[in-house]
Structure 1
Amino acid sequence: MMTDIRLARQSWRRLEPVHGMIYFVPEATERYAALGLEPHAGYFASRGAAFGAASPELVIATFYNFCPALVRQALPAAWDVTTPEKVIEARLDAADAALRRVAIHEIPVLAETAALARRAAEQVGEHVQGRPLAAAHAALPWPDGPLLELWHAQTLLREFRGDGHVAALLTEGVGGLEALILHGATGQMPTIFLKVSRGWPEEQWAAAEEGLRERGLLEGDGLTEEGRALRQRIEDRTDELALPAYAALSEEELARLAELARIFGRAVVDAGLLTFSA
């Protein structure tokens, strides 16, 4: 039976805020600071800790779109003040505290949603070839309780999809900085957020924009027709590469996960856990 690609994408997109809030909430910043990590170091160390004491080169390669200089400011110095094990524990504790602060643990269908998401996420470990971030996170132990089980499941599904997205970008000849610019040009994400969070110098950003204009992908600050077509190919291929995980669910179960995911994603967004301040 073919997995419904539309339902798989809906399940991921609707549930993504449950994972994504970890990059914005004060609980994470506070716990990383307690380990001696500044915000950028906390981000790179916490997401990369599944690799162990990740080198800057490994993080530059797998995170893909961050300025290398920004990564090298954080790593390997982070491992001089803390350990990957402590950072992983702090990240889980922050996720638990933030989600509990806005009562996600009180949503009646939490256990059902976590169980469905976990079944999909457990398939990640069966398809890790060529997916380094997914492989590293799949090797971590599952946390106890449905709240963190749901968070960890979406983390695995997110990194699995992300590894596939990087593969799609590489296939289309789109580098990390170029991917940021094209994303910003869609209007789906504020360019200021991408600039601030990814750390690219303005002159490199401007040079990459000009290169994309020369390729016929940008006109002014917006996408050309060819640019929109390229973005759609990348998104379509990313959707296809994410399907092996969701194939663990029947069509009815996947539809149910997509339905339930909306409840949790909306609750996180409405609670303001994804708020960004430039």
Structure 2
Amino acid sequence: MKAARQAWRRLEPVHAMIYFVPEGRDRFGALGLRGMQGYFASRGAAFGRASAEVVIATFYNFNPDLVRRALPSAWDHTTPEQVLAARTEAAGAALTRAGVHELAGLDETLALATRAAEAACQAPQGRPLFAAHATLDWPDEPITRLWHAQTLLREFRGDGHVSCLLTEGLDGLEALVVHAASGEVVTAFLKGSRAWPEPEWEAAAERLRERGLLEGDELSAEGKALRQHIEDRTDALALPAYAALGEDGCERLAELARPFGRAVVDAGLLRFG
């Protein structure tokens, strides 16, 4: 399971950069989308003309008011097909700018990631956001195929993560507060990108303190244990994809993925703002 997690984490920047790069903002803007419309419409377009309620449910941790300001009004300007095409084009352009397409091992990395993604497609039950993406056509170019494979693996894992949060009784905002308290992500980024008002954030923090999961603004021992349990369970739920590679295949993918993820980071593709 450790090798599978490493394979996901090291290749994840290849997917995640699409939410930050100017290539995406420019192309979504050309379609008439403004602000967060581009994000919600592009990630939700796999559902078709996604409603705000579908996105609120499946994305899980965004302030519903933020989503409702973006959807369904985004569909007054464009179509899901146009947004999906723009997203794929943007991904290819950004990864090419980072030189990812020239890295050694692209063919083998793509082959392993594709095998894992195709295995995930055999187990879509209970994973709505993943299942929607699994219906999309695979791109033609190797670099965008790699991005698509990692996108599928990310949404497969993400749906499992949401299931864990629900099972453990953490709503979307509480999950954000726990994440912030872990110290792994800057709190200001989570607050700004998810757009929860400060009083609601503090109310969620207080609920977590009452449960014994927070001490002040930091995770308690119980909170740390719960977060680790959720991460471990999320890893386990992602295994149907990575099991297709076996332990050796996962270790190889993790080894190959390191320079791909590093290239994305070094090129500044994950820079917010």
* TM > 0.5: yes
Q: Deviations over 1:65-121 (max 9, x none)?
A: 000000000000001110000000000000000001111101021111011100100
Q: 5+ unaligned residues in a row in structure 2: which ranges?
A: none
* Counterpart residue number, 1:66: 62
Q: Supply the distance in 1 between the matched residues of 2:233 and 2:98 (Cα, whole angstroms).
A: 35
Q: Supply the distance in 1 between the matched residues of 2:223 and 2:263 (Cα, whole angstroms).
A: 34
Q: Supply the distance in 2 between the matched residues of 1:132 and 1:124 (Cα, whole angstroms).
A: 13
CA contact (8 A) 1:32 1:39 kept: no
1:157 equivalent in alignment to 2:153: yes
Q: Supply the distance in 1 between the matched residues of 2:35 and 2:25 (Cα, whole angstroms).
A: 6
* Counterpart residue number, 1:167: 163
Q: Supply the distance in 2 between the matched residues of 1:10 and 1:235 (Cα, whole angstroms).
A: 13
1:248 equivalent in alignment to 2:230: no
For residue 265 of structure 1, what is the amino acid of its counterpart?
Answer: G
Deviation of residue 39 (structure 1)? Answer: 2.5
Moved more, 244-253 or 94-103: 244-253
Q: Supply the distance in 2 between the matched residues of 1:189 and 1:276 (Cα, whole angstroms).
A: 12
SS in 2 for 1:272: coil
Q: Supply the distance in 2 between the matched residues of 1:35 and 1:76 (Cα, whole angstroms).
A: 15
Deviation of residue 250 (structure 1)? Answer: 2.7
SS in 2 for 1:39: coil
* Counterpart residue number, 2:5: 9
Number of matched residues? 273
* Counterpart residue number, 1:91: 87
Q: Supply the distance in 2 between the matched residues of 1:199 and 1:269 (Cα, whole angstroms).
A: 25
Q: Aligned Cα RMSD in Å?
A: 0.7
Structure 1 segments (4+ residues) deviating >3 Å:
none
Deviation of residue 270 (structure 1)? Answer: 1.3
* Counterpart residue number, 2:263: 267
Q: Supply the distance in 2 between the matched residues of 1:111 and 1:265 (Cα, whole angstroms).
A: 15
Q: Supply the distance in 2 between the matched residues of 1:152 and 1:51 (Cα, whole angstroms).
A: 16
* Counterpart residue number, 2:101: 105
TM-score, scaled relative to structure 1 = 0.97
SS in 2 for 1:126: coil
Moved more, 108-117 or 52-61: 108-117
CA contact (8 A) 1:157 1:245 kept: yes
Alignment of 1:13-28 (within 5 A): 13-28=9-24
1:224 equivalent in alignment to 2:213: no
1:136 to 132, 136, 147: 132
SS in 1 for 2:139: coil
Matched-pair identity in %: 69
CA contact (8 A) 1:216 1:226 kept: yes
